[in-house]
């Protein structure tokens, strides 16, 4: 069953006719109008804001909101017109102070008026889409006061003049400036921009255009950059004190364009003070300033980087092709390392470790190091010098540092296999002669090479160390088996070497004197009866024995008597006649180098505080040109099977490939060791075709097919 039907009740308002005084609106408005006058005349203390609010409330409630709003506009306009006259009458520096004071008064008055008309603001204005009271007050101030014909231009000129005076070094009232610019911002961003910022930027551009021209004519590059940096900082400080924060990027763009971008080329290439001069003299502060300023403008850093790269390439090229520098390989490499250290420090200190600058530096070094075909040999000789004697007494950390620098140069080499060839020769001599400073340092470098180039690069080098260890263990076992029977017998050292791991050494001729049988040390008697035991090499012994029968011998006579190869003989004579404290021979004329017309004498004035004197052999500094050519030929021969292996690997994977793509792929595979010559690649392909690893396509002769 359905329940009883519910009744709906509605309570209606009691209807009665409200009689309103026909003059109510006029009377009420007069009260409110009087109150607004009093507020603007600073007599608001006697007003009852509660009563005034109620009157405004009732006017809106009784549909007189339009009259109230229009009356407000008329009354505020009247007062602002009077205020405008007062501001216009202010003279000189009082103009901004009067404007600021009247603006503050207007804001206070506006706050009170808004409180009184709060109900109108909340109900009537939204429903009629009119401007709220506070915004209305700002708009009227803008239109009546700021945009009056006598104030607008005067205000703009006054503000710009104050900025000009501050730029000239005068002290201005920044607080007043801040209040005025804030007023313009409060009136709307477009007011600030149109009435001040736009003109400020135009005047600033003109100012800095003229000033930069004066500076560029009278200052060197470093001084100019200091002035530009100071001006830039001043403008940023100015913004922070009294301009809109959004103006910062705009005004700094003006300074950057007029003071930096417009003069970039001239600054960078300025004679006696441009970037080249800064690089030469290590002017880190000036370079850092140039970097920080130029990075703010388009292409600024590219310009610095290009000029730096060009200069480094020219400097490096002069270094690697200078014949004087090539005479001393160790000094040659040290100069390269010093040059790299110099620019590494510049990039880290002045250029904020910028990766693009580091990459430019690396490409420059790779460019000029490979201009000299002997760079791989010289780097290996540098390592040889350091690991023989140069790192003696040096801490482990410093040794690692030197080895890391060597590896850095090694990475720049395009012919890493040439370095390997020389390094293997030099390492073999160090190991066999026992002249290495540190086995740990030797192994550390091999580990670095292995990390860089892979196991194949260092497998034979590691085999050399294995042979030395095996030989050492074998000799220890041999002497242990002899026990006490060994007595005072001559010591014997045998080293068993794996043929494939060690470089082949050509056998050298040498005429041994008959007296040497059983002799290991030479006993020599000098002037005043001084006797010494000289520990010398075989070649040195052969030379010294000649002086038993002669006091003077020419280079030619020594060469004919011993038949020692010329390069070895010259090093031998250098060690006997040119090393201070070990000069048992005397040379005329006296010089570091040995010439074919030199004469040698037994030095009877030789003295030493030691009875036993060990005379080392001067280390080969570099190969002669014929030796270098021979090494090059061996390297080229070694490259042939590597190129062929790469071609076969590629063709096995691809099956069919054209000539150009084979060359590209082979180059890509082998570039970590060397850059193969396309002509050589072509010859190796021809060889593989002859041996039936590949065949040419019958239709397209540039296409190759792999034969399984």
- Mean pLDDT over each residue of the chain, to the nearest integer: 85
Largest CA distance in the chain: 155
| Chain CA centroid to CA 264, Å | 20
Pick the closest to residue 111 from 90, 88, 138, 80 (CA basis).
138
For the segment 79-116, what is each residue's pLDDT rounded down to a tens digit? 999 999 999 998 888 999 999 999 999 999 999 999 99
Q: What is the C-alpha separation between 162 and 170, in angstroms, rounded?
A: 9
pLDDT (tens digit, 9 = 90+) per residue, 207-258? 999 999 999 999 999 999 999 999 999 999 999 999 999 999 999 999 999 9
681 contacts 643 by C-beta, under 8 angstroms: yes
d(CA 5, CA 3): 6
For 556-602, write each residue's pLDDT tens digit. 888 888 888 877 788 888 888 887 777 788 888 787 778 788 888 88
CB 495 within 8 A of CB 470: no
Count the neighbouring beta carbons within 10 Å of the beta carbon of residue 436: 19
Distance separating the N- and C-terminal Cα atoms of the chain: 99
Rounded distance between C-alpha atoms, residue 480 and residue 701, angstroms: 69
Rounded distance between C-alpha atoms, residue 541 and residue 399, angstroms: 35
Report the DSSP beta bridge partners of residue 696: 704
Helix (H) or strand (E) holding 586: strand 585-588
C-alpha 654/C-alpha 694 separation (Å) is 12
- Under 8 Å CB-to-CB from 393, ≥6 apart: which residues? none
Confidence of residue 363 (pLDDT cuts 50, 70, 90): very high
Query: Quick one: CA dihedral 284, 285, 288, 294, positive or negative?
Result: negative
Secondary structure percentages of the chain, helix, strand, coil, to 5: 65, 5, 30
The dihedral through the CA atoms of 673, 676, 681, 684 has a sign that is: negative
Residue 327 pLDDT more than 60?
yes
Judge contact between 136 and 77, C-beta under 8 A. no
- For the chain, helix (H) and strand (E) counts, in that order, are 30, 9
Instruction: Give how far the C-alpha of residue 179 lies from the chain's centroid of Cα atoms, to the nearest Å.
Output: 45
Q: Do residues 565 and 505 make contact, with C-beta atoms less than 8 angstroms apart? A: no
Query: What's the pLDDT tens digit per position in 653-674?
Result: 888 888 888 889 888 888 877 8
Bin 599: left if φ > 0, else alpha if -120 < ψ < 50, else beta: beta
Phi, psi angle pair for 612, to nearest 5°: -95, 125
* Three-state secondary structure call for residue 582: coil
> What is the radius of gyration, based on Cα positions, of the chain?
47
Measured CA to CA, the distance from residue 554 to residue 567 in angstroms comes to 16
C-beta of residue 305 within 8 angstroms of C-beta of residue 357: yes
Q: Which residues contact 567 (CB under 8 A, 6 or more apart)?
A: 620, 624, 627
Measured CA to CA, the distance from residue 649 to residue 651 in angstroms comes to 6
Q: Are strands 612-614 and 694-696 parallel, antiparallel or unpaired?
A: unpaired
The predicted pLDDT at position 519 comes to 42
pLDDT higher than 80, residue 631:
no
pLDDT above 90: residue 160: yes
Question: Hunting for tokens 């400073």 — which residue is that?
Answer: 437
pTM value is 0.75
Residue with tokens 């008329």: 74
E strand or H helix that includes residue 613 = strand 612-614
Distance, CA of 510 to chain centre: 56
% the chain with pLDDT above 70:
90
């Amino acid at each position: 069953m359905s329940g009883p039907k519910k009744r709906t009740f509605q309570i209606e308002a009691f209807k009665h006719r409200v009689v309103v005084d026909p003059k109510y609106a006029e009377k009420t408005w007069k009260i409110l109008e009087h109150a607004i006058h009093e507020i603007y005349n600073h007599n608001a203390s006697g007003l009852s804001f509660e009563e005034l609010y109620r009157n405004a409330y009732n006017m809106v409630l009784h549909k007189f909101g339009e009259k109230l709003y229009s009356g407000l506009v008329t009354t505020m306009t009247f007062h602002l017109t009077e205020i405008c006259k007062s501001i216009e009458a202010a003279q000189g520096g009082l103009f901004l102070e009067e404007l600021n004071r009247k603006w503050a008064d207007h804001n206070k008055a506006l706050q009170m008026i808004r409180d009184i008309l709060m109900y109108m603001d909340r109900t009537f204005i939204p429903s009629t889409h009119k401007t709220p009271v506070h915004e209305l007050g700002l708009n009227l101030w803008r239109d009546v006061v700021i945009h009056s014909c006598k104030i607008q231009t005067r205000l703009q000129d006054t503000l710009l003049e104050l900025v000009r005076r501050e730029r000239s070094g005068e002290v201005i009232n920044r607080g007043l400036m801040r209040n005025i610019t804030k007023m313009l911002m409060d009136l709307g961003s477009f007011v600030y921009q149109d009435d001040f910022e736009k003109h400020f930027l135009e005047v600033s551009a003109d100012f800095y255009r003229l000033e930069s021209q004066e500076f560029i004519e009278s200052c060197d590059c470093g001084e100019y950059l200091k002035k530009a940096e100071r001006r830039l900082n001043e403008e940023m400080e100015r913004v922070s004190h009294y301009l809109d924060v959004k103006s910062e990027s705009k005004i700094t763009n003006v300074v950057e364009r007029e003071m930096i971008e417009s003069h970039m080329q001239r600054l960078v290439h300025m004679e006696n003070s441009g970037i080249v001069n800064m690089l030469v003299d290590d002017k880190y502060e000036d370079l850092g300033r140039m970097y920080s300023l130029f990075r703010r403008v388009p292409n600024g850093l590219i310009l610095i980087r290009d000029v730096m790269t060009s200069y480094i390439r020219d400097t490096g090229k002069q270094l690697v092709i200078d014949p004087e520098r090539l005479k001393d390989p160790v000094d040659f490499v040290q100069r390269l390392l010093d040059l790299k250290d110099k620019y590494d420090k510049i990039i880290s200190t002045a250029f904020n470790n910028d990766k693009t600058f580091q990459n430019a530096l690396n490409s420059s070094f790779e460019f000029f190091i490979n201009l000299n075909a002997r760079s791989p040999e010289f780097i290996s000789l540098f390592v040889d010098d350091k690991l023989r004697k140069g790192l003696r007494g040096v801490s482990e950390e410093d040794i690692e540092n030197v080895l890391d620098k060597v590896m850095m140069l090694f990475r720049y080499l395009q012919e890493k296999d040439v370095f390997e060839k020389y390094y293997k020769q030099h390492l073999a001599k160090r190991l066999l002669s026992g002249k290495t400073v540190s086995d740990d340092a030797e192994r550390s470098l091999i580990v670095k090479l292995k990390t860089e180039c892979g196991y194949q690069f260092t497998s034979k080098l590691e085999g050399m160390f294995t042979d030395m260890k095996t030989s050492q263990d074998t000799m220890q076992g041999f002497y242990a088996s002899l026990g006490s029977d060994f007595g005072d017998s001559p010591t014997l050292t045998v080293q068993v070497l794996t043929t494939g791991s060690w470089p082949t050494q050509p056998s050298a001729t040498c005429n041994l004197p008959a007296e040497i049988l059983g002799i290991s040390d030479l006993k020599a008697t000098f002037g005043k009866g001084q006797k010494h035991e000289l520990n010398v090499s075989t070649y040195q012994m052969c030379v010294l024995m000649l002086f038993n029968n002669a006091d003077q011998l020419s280079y030619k006579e020594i060469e004919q008597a011993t038949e020692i190869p010329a390069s070895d003989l010259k090093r031998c004579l250098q060690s006997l006649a040119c090393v201070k404290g070990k000069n048992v021979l005397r040379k005329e004329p006296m010089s570091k180098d040995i010439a074919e017309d030199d004469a040698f004498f037994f030095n009877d004035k030789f003295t030493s505080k030691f009875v036993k004197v060990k005379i080392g052999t001067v280390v080969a500094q570099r190969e002669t040109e014929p030796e270098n050519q021979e090494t090059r030929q061996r390297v080229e021969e070694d490259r042939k099977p590597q190129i062929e292996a790469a071609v076969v690997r590629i063709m096995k994977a691809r099956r069919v490939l054209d000539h150009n793509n084979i060359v590209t792929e082979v180059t890509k595979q082998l570039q970590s060791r060397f850059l193969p010559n396309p002509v050589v690649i072509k010859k190796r392909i021809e060889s593989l075709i002859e041996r039936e690893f590949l065949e040419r396509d019958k239709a397209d002769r540039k296409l190759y097919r792999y034969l399984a």
